[in-house]
Amino acid sequence: MKTPLLGEFGSPPARHMLGPIQHIDVPMKRYAETEEVDFCIVGIGSAGGVLLQRLARAGFQVVGFEAGPFWDTERDWVSDESGSHNLYWEDLRITGGSDPLALGANNSGKGVGGGSVHWAAFTPRLHPSDFRIHSEDGVGVDWPMTYEELKPYYEQLELEMPVSGPAYFPWGDPHGYAYGPHPLGGVGDVLVKGCTRLGIRVVAGGPVAILAGSHGDRQHCIYRGFCLQACKVGAKASTLITHVPDALRNGAEIRDNCMVSRVNMNKEGRTCGVSYFDRHGVEHVQKAKVVIVSGYAIETPRLLLNSACPGFENGLANSSDTVGRYLMAQAGNVILGRFDQLVRMYKAPPAHALTEEFYETDPKRGFARGFAIQTVGPLPIAFAKQMMVAKGAWGWGMRRVMMDYNHWAALGLLGEILPWPDNRVQLAAEKDRFGIPVAKVTFNLHDDDKVLANYGKNKVMEVMRAAGAEEVVQESRYAHLVGAARMGADPRTSVVDKYGRTHDIPNLFVCDGSVMPTQGSANPGLTIQALAARTADYLIAYSREIFTSKKRPMEPPPIRRHLAPPETWGKGVPRIANL
C-alpha cells in the first residue's frame, strides 16, 4: 500500500490532531475530585464548548464532562457515510407519540463538540419577531428577552466560528457577513434557479460556519460534501476546533468518555457537584460551586429528572412541571427532484443556499409563523432511505432509482413547529448500561403545525418544479430538537431565567438548545452558541453572587469580546509549519 498523503500513523501521539494542521498537546490539566472546582459543565457540545472556553479564559477552574470521546480527527473520523455512526448519540432512547421523532443520526452528537461535529453548519439568526410570537400572533410564547439583547452575541459568534455568507442578508434584521460566500454546488444552483423563476429572493454561499479562506491553523473548505460525517479538513466550525483548544490552553479540563449520572444536591437546596461514570464504568463524584447542564434537549431533561432527590421529588428545577415539556422539532421535509441533466449533489457542502422569504407570518396564508427553504445534499445511503419513503422504493425499484442518484437534487424545508406541553421528554422503564433510566420522547403534531408543514412542503415542491425537475417527491421529517427546559420570566411556567439560571436552584444552570422557548425557522446552532456566550458573561459578571447566595441580578452583563479565542479572529494565513 502507498504511504498515506499525510504520513503513516505512529503510536498514540502526545500531539492530538484537530485537523490536518491544528493540534493540541495532551494530556491536559486534571483536577482532583476532592477539590471543589468553580464550574462543572455537563456536555461539551455546541453550547458547552463555548462556555468552557469563556470560563477558562476568565480564569475560573472549570471541568467539562463529555459522555463521548475527545476526537483525534485524523484517526477517528472518516470520509465515509457508513463509517461515521460513532459521531451520533447511538445509545437507546424510546420514541413515540402520534408522530414519533427519529433520533440518532437525525438528531444528536456524542463526543467533544457534540452536535457541532456533524451539523451542516447553516447559521442563520433568529428574526426579531421570533422573540415575541405570542404578542404578535397569539401563538406559542414570548421570549423573556429581545432580539436586540442577543444581537451583539450573534455578531460576535459569527466572527468566532466564523460564518461565511452574502454581503447582504435581507431577512429578519438585515445584515451582512464579514467572510465571503462559497461557490454554488449543484443543489444550490437548483434552489437559486427555482426561486429566481418564481420571483423569490434567495441567497447563496451562506450563511454557513464553513471557512471560505484559511484561518489561523484551519484550512478552507475543499468542497468534499462530507459535512454531516464531520469535517476532517477543519473547514467547518465545531466547538472542538473553534473553542475547545483555547479552553484547554487556559487550564480547562475535559473528562471525556465520562457520563454524568446525576447532579448532586446539599441540604441547603444548592447543587454541590455531579456523579459520573468513567470510561471503565466506575462511578465518581466531582465537587463544584456551580453546575451547568449542556447535554442537548433530550439528555438535559433526562439528567434533571434522573437527579430527583428528597425535596426535589419530580426532578431538579422542576417545581413548574415544565422540565421535559415544550420540546420542539422543526418540520424538516426533504423535497427531491429528478433532473434530466446531472447534478452530482455529493459535491460541495450540503448547506450553501437558502431563502427566508416565507419566514414571517403572512395573514393571507391562514396560519401563524412560517418556514425557510435550504439546500441539503444527501449522500447515497441517506438518499436511499429517502427513496424508500418518498417513492416507496425497494428491490429493483431501489436499484433503479439509485442508478439515477446523480440526477437528483434535494431541498430541505425548515418549518416552525410551535411549543406544546404534551411534546416532551420523560423517563422510560429501560435503563442504559450504567443502570440509568433512558429518555422517552413523545411527539405529536398539532393542527397549526400540520397546516404549516403542508403549505411549506408544497411551496418547496413548487420551487423544485420551477427549477426544471421533471419528477418531484418528498419525505416528511423533523429536525433540530430544542426546548424541554425553557427559559421564561415566570417560574411557574419555565425552568430557567433568561440567563439560563434555574428558578429553583441558585447555582444550577441550563445552557444548550433546551432553553429555547420557541425556535423560529432558523437552524438553532448559532443561537445556541450565542446564548452560551451570554450565559458565560452572566456567570463571569456575577460569579460572587452565584457562588454564595440566592441573589438573582437581572441587569444584563457587559459583553466581554476580549474573552473570545484569539486564533479565531481572522489571521488569514494557515500555519503550515511545525506539523
Ligand X SMILES: Cc1cc2nc3c(=O)[nH]c(=O)nc-3n(C[C@H](O)[C@H](O)[C@H](O)COP(=O)(O)OP(=O)(O)OC[C@H]3O[C@@H](n4cnc5c(N)ncnc54)[C@H](O)[C@@H]3O)c2cc1C
Residues that bind ligand SF4 (CB under 6 A): 210, 221-227, 231, 233, 235-236, 349
| Helix, strand, coil in percent for the chain, rounding step 5 | 30, 20, 50
Rounded least distance, CB 45 to other proteins, Å: 15
Under 8 Å between Cβ of 274 and 288: yes
> Closest CB to ligand SF4 among 352 and 534?
352
Q: Would you count residue 15 as binding other proteins (CB under 8 A)?
A: no
For residues 105 and 467, which CB has a smaller minimum distance to other proteins in the complex?
105
Q: For residues 221 and 263, which CB has a smaller minimum distance to ligand SF4 in the complex?
A: 221
Min CB(223)–ligand SF4 separation in Å = 5
Which residue in 465, 429, 459 sits closest to 521, CA to CA? 459
Residue from the set 346, 371, 499, 542 that interacts with other proteins by CB under 8 A? 346
Binding residue count for other proteins, defined by CB under 8 A: 110
Helix axes 147-160, 525-541, angle to 10 degrees: 100
- Report, in Å, the least distance between residue 56 CB and ligand SF4: 27
* CB contact set of 397 (below 8 Å; sequence gap of 6+): 391
Query: Tell me, what DSSP letter sits at residue 410?
Result: E
User: How do strand 424-431 and strand 62-65 relate by DSSP bridges?
Assistant: unpaired
- Residues in 370-399 that interact with other proteins by CB under 8 A: 374, 376-382, 384-386, 388-399
Residues 92-151 that bind other proteins (CB under 8 A): 92-96, 98-100, 102-108, 118, 120, 122
Residue 216's φ and ψ, nearest 5 degrees, are 55, -130
CB of 42 to ligand X, least distance (A): 5
CA atoms of 430 and 119, how far apart (whole Å): 29
CB of 385 to ligand X, least distance (A): 13
Residue with cell 396564508: 365
Of all residues in the shown chain, the one whose CB is closest to ligand X is 45
* Residue 17, C-beta contacts closer than 8 angstroms, at least 6 positions apart: 23, 72, 73, 74, 75
285 vs 576 by CB, closer to ligand X = 285
Calculate the CA dihedral of residues 372, 378, 382, 388 and round it to 10 degrees.
Answer: 70
CA–CA distance, 228 with 398 (Å, rounded to integer): 23
Residue 46 binding: pick among ligand X, ligand SF4, other proteins, none (C-beta 5-8 Å cut-off by kind): ligand X
List the single partner that 528 binds among ligand SF4, ligand X, other proteins, none, CB under 5 to 8 Å by kind: ligand X
Is the Cβ–Cβ distance between 435 and 310 less than 8 Å? no
Query: 489: how many CB neighbours lie within 10 A of its CB?
Result: 14
How many other β-carbons are positioned within 10 Å of the β-carbon of residue 158? 23
Pick the binder of ligand X from 39, 60, 71, 119 (CB under 6 A): 119
- Minimal distance, residue 384 CB to other proteins, in Å: 4
The SS3 assignment for 106 reads: helix
Residue 374's binding partner out of ligand SF4, other proteins, ligand X, none, with CB under 5 to 8 Å set by partner kind = other proteins
The interface mask with ligand X, positions 391-430, x = CB under 6 A, is ----------------------------------------
Residues 322-351, interacting with ligand X (CB under 6 A): 351
